[in-house]
Amino acid sequence: MTAPAVAFSGVEKTYKRPRLLGAEYNTAVKGLSFEVRPGEVTGLLGLNGAGKTTIMKLITGLLFPTAGRVSVFGHSPADVAAKARVGFLPELPYFPPQVKPAAALAYYGRLSGLSGAELSLAVGSSMHRTGLEPHAGKRISEFSKGMLQRLGLAQALLHKPDLLVLDEPVSGLDPLAIHDIRALLAGLNAEGRAIFLSSHSISEVEKLASRVLIMVRGALAATVTRAQWEASPGGLEKLFVEAVK
Amino acid sequence: MNSLFLVRAVAFNSFSESVRNRFFTLFAVFAFTAVYASVLAGVMAVDQESRVLADFGLALIELTALAYALFGASSALLKEAETKTIYLVFSRPVPRWAYLAGKLGGALLTAGLMLLIMAAMHLSLLAFRGFGPPPFYAWALAGTFLKLAVIVSFAFFVSLFSTSAVSTLVISSIMWTLGHFASEARFLAERLPGLKGTAVSVFLWLIPNLQLFNARDAAGAAAAPGPAVLLPAAAWVAASFLGSLWLLSRKEF
Amino acid sequence: MYNYLRDTTLAAALLAWAAGGFLARGYASPFPPPSEMRVPAAGAAGDMLALASGSRRLFADLWFIRLLQYYGSREFHGEEEAGNGEHRHGEHENYGAGDYPLFFPMARHVLEVDPAFTAAGLYGAACLAFNMQRGEEARALISFALGYNPKEWKYLTMLAAIGYSRSGNAAAVAETIAPILKDPDCPVMLKQLAAFLNKKAGNYAAAAAIYADIAATSRDEAYVKNAVKELKKLAGTRLPPRGGSRR
């Protein structure tokens, strides 16, 4: 049996903030259980503070669960075996402004274990897929927000991951950039890659995802499939509003 | 995957970013101005000009390199966390020890380059005034580098639990100062009676004695440092590295 | 397993730090302890900085420059002055003669900060012994420096020269300090003294050689001018053979 791309089982994450006397605790997600199947596009919707970014970080091993279990392709997210199969695009990724995109990508390619001709090929391919080739001669300091987002996606694609974890991939982009990125993600999914994306844009998630998880104050309030929102008169937006109210 | 390959990738990226940063140039320009300004003191020392120029230059080189290296080390990890660059690193199959070793290696490579550039400026000044390098010059630079290695790795450790880059800078500078006072403090501790003396001696055991590496001061004295000083330097760097790794392995981003 | 690894890392870190302390335990500072430093009130902050930044040599240099400036300044009582108010650099007999009450503590302080500053030790002792006729202070200065450099032959030589000076044997002083003159640490004033003593003893060839050395190597214009002047004077003198002066 194929392991799920992502599996959360009774996951809780509580942040501890040390204070002068004792500490302050804040539970970001609690009792969270869900799965993302290989090759599936899963959307994650929720208001600010609902726990979306926490979930992304738990999947990528940047955070450790306080309770419960997270697995990525059957491995702990901290395992090399899991990380080798995941590509992550954080919200508003940063790249050193003084270098050109290929140099930045080469660095992240090396960190993914690529070298030599394989690395050059991966950098070229990622730039091509994300439409960065015409801007190859520019320094990153000259990049627009949309180009930075493309670069962020390009670094996530370098090692041909089986799962893409994308935090707000179209946030702040102009309509043309959104269109391009949507097409790119659809193409990646068509290749069999699972995509797990969070967004504030319900319409974007609606266009891409086959299933949506709606988070409310750290708990999974609803799981909605494409068939369900297509059958609903108000679409996904109505279902989301009902869930978060 | 070869972890050493990852260490090298992180180190060279860190080195390249630091060298491209405008602060590197600013510090180099500052060093140039300060080193060349020491001509005035040299002239005042008349027949001791070569000694004064050598001492001023080596001290300025060390203090400038220290300021630069501490400035970089105290913000290196913090900046990567703040800019979320670290997300792109730790979401990849990069062991935390390899990342830490790479960052430390990059910081030391940059400090080493800074030292070499300033030494070239200094030697050019000495040549301009008609002097060659003093015989202990290479040792003095090597000693400075060892001091930097100890204090930069300590700053990495502190930066992983301190609340800001400024507090890391302050704590590391205090350690630097204590490190130079270690011999004098040990002398005073030996004269303190009973428990007080023991307590101070134990405390001093925790302070890395940076005078061990102070070849630029010991050069004229009977006890110029030998290669054996590499061992305590390696022990302190390794300790700071392991301490940093202990903190980093618990750290969430 | 993960926690075990973390705990092992912490234990290894503590062990490595302790190992650093253990490996460094044998270090003995070559410098005078703080109790030996008689810091002038105005210099306490500087000395703190010297120790805190490991820059003893640098601060010893600064103290030496201050000593040069102090000794180069005009004294208003009993000192023979040149027309411009500076010391006479012409003849050595009255050169630098004056009270200069702070000279000894200042010279000693240079050595307290860096006892390996041989040139400063020789300069201080020579000024005290030969210019100011303060042999006891000169001996005290050299003895202090010798405490930290017991094998420094230049200090031992200077100590002997001070002894000859007290017994008024100028020729022996000149002969004793001769080996120091070839050393790069030799202060130019000591060279000038040697030249003067040789000239006084009629050993013109030796005096001329020393003046020529001063003219060629010193960066002190006053000494260079004087050396050139003396060389011109000596050129007009019939030079007896070298070494003939001690008879």
Task: Read off the tokens for C197.
Answer: 């003593």
Return the residue of B nearest to A163 by Cα.
B91
Query: Can you tell me whether residue A183 is helix, strand or coil?
Result: helix
Q: Which of B88, B90, B97, B248 to mutate to test the interface with A (most CBs of A within 10 A)?
A: B88
Residue type, A30: K
pLDDT digits (tens, 9 = 90+) for A74-104: 999 999 999 999 999 998 889 999 899 999 9
Q: Does the pLDDT at position A9 exceed 70?
A: yes
The confidence band for C31, taking pLDDT boundaries of 50, 70 and 90, is confident
Average pLDDT estimate for A137-148: 92
C9/B56 CB distance under 8 A: no
DSSP per residue, A35-59: EE-TT-EEEEEE-TTSSHHHHHHHH
C61/B55 CB distance under 8 A: yes
Whether the CB of C117 is below 8 Å from some CB of chain B: the reply is yes
Q: Give the number of other Cβ atoms within 10 Å of residue C68's Cβ.
A: 19
Tally of domains within chain B:
1
Query: Can you tell me whether residue A27 is helix, strand or coil?
Result: strand
Task: Read off the tokens for C22.
Answer: 């253990």
> In chain B, which residues have their Cβ closer than 8 Å to the Cβ of C55?
55, 59, 217
Neighbours of chain A (3+ CB pairs under 8 A): B
Task: Read off the tokens for A211.
Answer: 């299933």
The confidence band for B244, taking pLDDT boundaries of 50, 70 and 90, is very high
Task: Read off the tokens for A113.
Answer: 């274990």
| CA torsion angle A98 A100 A104 A106 (round to 10) | -140
Q: How far apart are CA A56 and CA B234, in angstroms?
A: 39
As for the ipTM of the complex, it is: 0.90
Query: For residue C26, how many C-alpha atoms fall within 13 Å in the half-sphere facing its CB?
Result: 9
Return the residue of C nearest to B208 by Cα.
C21
A86/B13 CB distance under 8 A: no
The confidence band for B154, taking pLDDT boundaries of 50, 70 and 90, is very high
User: Degrees (nearest 5) of the Cα angle A60, A61, A66?
Assistant: 125
Position A189 scores a pLDDT of: 94
Do A34 and A213 contact (CB within 8 A), yes or no? yes
DSSP C32: P
Whether the CB of C219 is below 8 Å from some CB of chain B: the reply is yes
Q: How far apart are CA B1 and CA A113, in angstroms?
A: 6
pTM (two decimals) = 0.86
Q: How far apart are CA B197 and CA B191, in angstroms?
A: 7
Q: Which residue has the higher pLDDT, C227 or A171?
A: C227
Residue type, B152: V
What range does the domain containing B178 cover?
Answer: 2-249
